[in-house]
Structure formats: C-alpha cells, structure tokens
C-alpha cells in the first residue's frame, strides 16, 4: 500500500518564527518516517518578512500555496518596527486574512502542565498538584472584534466616542458549541461554557444556544460560568476543567490567563479549525504557537521550540488523521522534559539547557 503524502505550507514569519518552525519540521519529519507516511513542506513569506519583500503581509503566492496545502504551519509575526504601518499592512493582518479565507471559526488552546514543570507554575502545589489538563475552545471569527457598528466618532460637542459591538447569531454559536462538545466527548466529557448572560443579550443567546446543542450530547456534562467567575476559577480549581467554551473576547483573555498556569508560553500550541477541508476531507487547519515573535532573541538559538513542535502534533491529529504519530510527538516532548532537558525560559538548577535546534533534535530522536 502506497504511503500517503501530505502537503504542508510553512509560514515561518518574523523574529523567532523561522527557528521554531524549523524545529517543528524536524520533529514532523521524524514522525512521518516512523509512522509510514510522507510530508512535503513548502516555505512561504508572511507577516513582516512578506511586507519587507513584496509590500504586503499576505502575498498572493502565499495565499495560493495555502489553498493547495493540506495544513498550514505558522511561526510568528510582528515586531516594533512595523507599528507605524496602517492596519492592513501590519504583519498581524495576515492572521485575520487567513482566518477569514478558510473560515477558521474555532481556536483550540490546550492548557497542559507537565509534572516536571510544576515548580515553574505561579500557582501553589496544593492547587495544581492534581494536574492541569484542559482545552479552551474559542470562537474566532465573530463577536466584538468583528461586530458592526464600530469605530471612533466625534460628537457635535467635541466628545470622542468609541464603539464596538458584540454580535452573534444562533448559527455562529451552535457551530462552535458543537466543536466544543465533540472535543469534550473525546476527552473527559465535561464542557464549561463561559458568558455574561447576566448583563449581555449576546450572552443570554450564547447560553440558550449552548443548552440547545447540549441536547445532542447527553453524555457530556455542561457547566455555565460567568466570564469574571471563570477567570477566578481557572486560578482556584484549574484541575476541574476539561473543555472550556468561550466567545472571541472571553476566549482571548481566558486563554492568555490559563497559559500562565504552565510556567511558560513557550510550551503552548494552538490550532484554528473551521469549515475548510483538505484533500483527505479533514480540516485544513492553521497551527500557531501562542508566543510572539520575540525579536529580542531572534537568531540566537535561544527560543523554546516546544510550542511549535506541539503544534505539529495537533496538525498530525486534526488535519492528517495521524493520531498515533501525534501521540508519539506528545510523548517525546514529555520524555525530554522528564529527563531534565530545558530551554532557557524554563531552566532550573541542575537542568541541561539546550538551544532551539538541540531541543528539537532531542524530541525528534524520541519520536522515532
């Protein structure tokens, strides 16, 4: 039987993006060799690198490559020298363009505290000692970041007024809710939905629709939390959560808060999925480590590649259907940490501190 061949568009971007992406590719190639399939990678400009080269953060050539690909592996974009550009030319504009082009309405952020890194977490051991392992499912293409009307206007008396509008339809809520319930069904069968149903009409609709969709998943336990309470409970009882479902705004700040539980954002991957399908009728996903471009350490072989490597595991699982290979990558990351290997952001006394390239190589060896 012929080995399947998957096409991956690599968009390294700016800052440390190229370094961590190379690390992820190294590990993915090892996973493919060990599990009987082939990966073909093509590299393309995005973000500030694309603007510098061709004057636009998401060039036509990159768009066409992403259209052909089965999945998109992303590094990082941005940097202070681009802050003066108009919004449509800033590196971050590429992210919104990609989300819109492929209708990537769901963002998945796993929050996993590895036992060897418990001391790096800012929370006390009595809070995290039982383990932290949940996933935030964030709606990504609607809500207050996209709602109309929006803008800044000057009133007749000279007062300036800023307006943003939280807008959701029942269909937009239902599709992200189903994504959350499906993930919960494959995990510990508990979903926590976050809203502000006490003061926001959009929040009341959110809660109503989530309860309606819940009828399709009688095996999944449902909990509703107000967003401010959810922010507190993440710090108070993080081990109780399994899948947390949230709107664009609430998912944005809750996922950044939860990221700190793990000790370093250099460990946290994300996947954006939606209605677009690849040649294998699987989601054409967009996989991005949540850390930024970190231009202060770019090119120094100091960046932590583990978030990008774990993005590779998510890519294997969701876009290629290669579950065994995905688990092998995740196990390899856990083994490397258990054996005491660290990058500078998570080093502890007595640990073996590695650079970006060497850390990726250690993971790749264990994947095989």
Express each pLDDT in 73-84 by its tens digit. 999 999 999 999
Residue 169 C-alpha from the chain's centroid: 24
To 5 degrees, how large is the angle CA 38–CA 44–CA 49? 145
pLDDT confidence of residue 12? 98
> What digits encode the pLDDT tens for the residues 122-149?
889 888 888 899 999 999 999 999 899 9
Can you give the pLDDT at residue 269? 96
Closest CA to 270 of 329, 332, 315: 315
Query: What's the whole-model pTM score?
Result: 0.93
Query: Active site includes 145?
Result: yes
Q: Which of 103, 118, 133, 145 is catalytic?
A: 145
Catalytic residue among 196, 242, 287, 345: 196
The answer to whether residue 228 is catalytic is: yes
| pLDDT at res. 1 | 60
Q: Which of 88, 228, 296, 365 is catalytic?
A: 228
pLDDT digit string, tens, across residues 198-248: 999 999 999 999 999 999 999 999 999 999 999 999 999 999 999 999 999
CA distance 24 to 32: 12
> pLDDT truncated to tens, each residue of the chain (368 aa)?
678 999 999 999 999 999 999 999 999 999 999 999 999 999 999 999 999 999 999 999 999 999 999 999 999 999 999 999 998 999 999 998 999 899 999 999 999 999 998 888 888 988 888 889 999 999 999 999 989 999 999 999 999 999 999 999 999 999 999 999 999 999 999 999 999 999 999 999 999 999 999 999 999 999 999 999 999 999 999 999 999 999 999 999 999 899 889 888 889 999 999 999 999 999 999 999 999 899 999 999 999 999 999 999 999 999 999 999 999 999 999 999 999 999 998 888 888 899 999 999 999 999 97
Please say if 256 is a catalytic residue. Answer: yes
The confidence score (pLDDT) of residue 352 equals 86
Quick one: CA dihedral 83, 85, 86, 92, positive or negative? negative
Please confirm, yes or no, whether 252 is among the known catalytic residues: yes
What kind and span of H or E run contains 246? strand 243-246
Domains in the chain and their CATH numbers? 1-121+263-368 (3.40.718.10), 124-138+169-262 (3.40.50)
CA distance 276 to 162: 34
Which residue blocks in 237-340 are alpha helix, DSSP H? Answer: 248-259, 306-318, 323-338
Candidates 70, 195, 242, 252; catalytic one: 252
Catalytic residue among 118, 256, 301, 347: 256
247 in Cβ contact with 143 (< 8 Å): yes
Contact 29, 62 (CB under 8 A): no
pLDDT given at position 84? 93
């Amino acid at each position: 039987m012929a080995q399947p061949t998957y096409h991956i568009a690599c968009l390294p971007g700016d800052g440390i993006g190229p370094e961590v992406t190379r690390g992820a590719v190294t590990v993915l190639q090892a996973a493919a060799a060990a599990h009987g399939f082939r990966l073909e990678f093509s590299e393309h400009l995005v973000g500030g690198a694309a603007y510098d080269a061709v004057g636009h953060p998401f060039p036509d050539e990159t768009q066409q490559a992403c259209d052909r690909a089965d999945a998109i592996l992303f590094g990082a974009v941005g940097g202070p020298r681009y802050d003066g550009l108009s919004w449509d030319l800033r590196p971050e504009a590429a992210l919104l363009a990609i989300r819109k082009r492929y209708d990537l309405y769901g963002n998945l952020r796993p929050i996993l505290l590895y036992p060897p890194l418990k001391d790096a977490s800012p929370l006390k051991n009595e809070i995290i000692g039982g383990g932290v392992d949940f996933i935030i499912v964030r709606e990504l293409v609607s809500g207050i970041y996209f709602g109309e009307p929006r803008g800044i206007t000057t009133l007749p008396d000279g007062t300036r007024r800023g307006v943003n509008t939280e807008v959701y339809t029942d269909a937009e809520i239902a599709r992200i809710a189903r994504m959350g319930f499906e993930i919960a069904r494959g995990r510990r069968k508990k979903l926590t939905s976050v809203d502000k149903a006490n003061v926001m009409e959009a929040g009341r609709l959110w809660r109503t629709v989530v309860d309606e969709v819940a009828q399709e998943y009688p095996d999944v336990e449902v909990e509703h939390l107000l967003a401010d309470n959810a922010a507190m409970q993440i710090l108070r009882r993080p081990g109780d959560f399994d899948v947390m479902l949230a709107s664009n705004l609430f998912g944005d700040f809750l996922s950044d808060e939860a990221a700190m539980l793990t000790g370093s954002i250099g460990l946290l991957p994300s996947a954006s999925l939606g209605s677009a399908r690849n040649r294998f009728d699987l989601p054409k996903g967009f996989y991005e480590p949540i850390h930024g471009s970190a231009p202060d350490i770019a090119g120094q072989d100091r960046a932590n590649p583990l978030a990008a490597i774990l993005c590779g595991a998510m890519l294997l699982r969701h876009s290629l259907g290669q579950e065994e290979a995905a688990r092998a990558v995740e196990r390899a990351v856990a083994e490397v940490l258990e054996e005491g290997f660290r990058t500078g952001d998570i080093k502890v006394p007595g640990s073996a501190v590695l650079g970006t390239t060497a850390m990726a190589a250690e993971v790749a060896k264990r994947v095989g």
